[in-house]
Amino acid sequence: MLFKLLAAPGETEPWMADLLAQLMPTRQGLFVDVGVNLGQTLAKVKAIEPGRPYLGFEPNPACVAFTEQLIESRSLRDCRIIPAGLAANTGVADLEIPSTSPLGSAGSAVPGFRPSERIRIRKAVILLALESLPADIFTPDVAFVKIDVEGGELEVLQTLLPIIKRDRPIIMIEILPCYSTDRTERLARQEAVEALLAGCGYRLQRVLKTSDDRLKTLDPVERIGIHGDLALCDYVARA
């Protein structure tokens, strides 16, 4: 069933397919996908531009195996999957997954990111710092960065900061709600992400979706703010 969905990428998160179709023709270069999961974004990218070079980072070995099967089954070319996440320091972390499936998309390497949820699966995963990666891995120039890492957005942005400053890519990023002022750690992370992007001269646009989950519009926002709406957690950042 999952392969069937990914074979028709518009059927999963159709708003993302719309967004990529709108943005990808505006920039040439490497598409970097941090948080590959099951290759949902990969399938969409290759459906729009089969020749677009793609680099994915995914720490969950079960998801890496699934995505590599997807690449092979569809004969996708110019794809490279790194079986690790990105972080300021190279090391081993626990991936905490609240679902019973090892392929669950809600796994987070941020300790205690979901304190009210029962963690059903823990996996030791590899995180890599920029200096641990091959010197030529971000070539050609990076045109797009997609980040979906369940709370670890700040660390990914900090790791990629030299690349962001060098290539000024368009960034698509999920920032989950902090819900209330009581969630101080989430709020601090959110504000740090805003500050980092603003310091690089980036402006945020919130992805607004229709009732049938298509792309409606991109709404400029000065601040993410405090909210609890999961439909409002996707953003585009552009310099």
Assign residue 190 the CATH number of its domain.
3.40.50.150
Determine the pLDDT at residue 8.
52
- What is the tens place of the pLDDT at every residue in 170-227? 999 999 998 988 888 889 999 999 999 999 999 999 999 999 999 999 999 999 999 9
Separation between Cα atoms, residue 166 and residue 160, nearest integer Å: 10
Beta bridge partners of 106: none
List of residues 6+ apart from 174 with CB closer than 8 A? 147, 148, 149, 153, 233, 234, 235
Report how many domains make up the chain: 1
Domain that holds residue 192: 2-238
Separation between Cα atoms, residue 229 and residue 133, nearest integer Å: 36
Separation between Cα atoms, residue 85 and residue 31, nearest integer Å: 16
Quick count: other Cβ atoms within 10 Å of Cβ 174? Answer: 17
Mean pLDDT of the chain: 92
Residues 142, 29 contacting (CB under 8 angstroms)? yes
- What is the tens place of the pLDDT at every residue in 135-181? 899 999 999 999 999 989 999 999 999 999 999 999 999 999 989 88
The pLDDT of 40-65, averaged and rounded, is 97
Predicted TM-score of the model (pTM): 0.94
| More confident of the two residues 8 and 208 | 208
Separation between Cα atoms, residue 50 and residue 175, nearest integer Å: 28
6 pLDDT above the threshold of 60: no
- What is the separation of C-alpha 33 from the centre of its chain, rounded to a whole number of angstroms? 6
Separation between Cα atoms, residue 197 and residue 175, nearest integer Å: 13
Helix 14-23 to helix 40-48 angle (10° resolution) is: 40
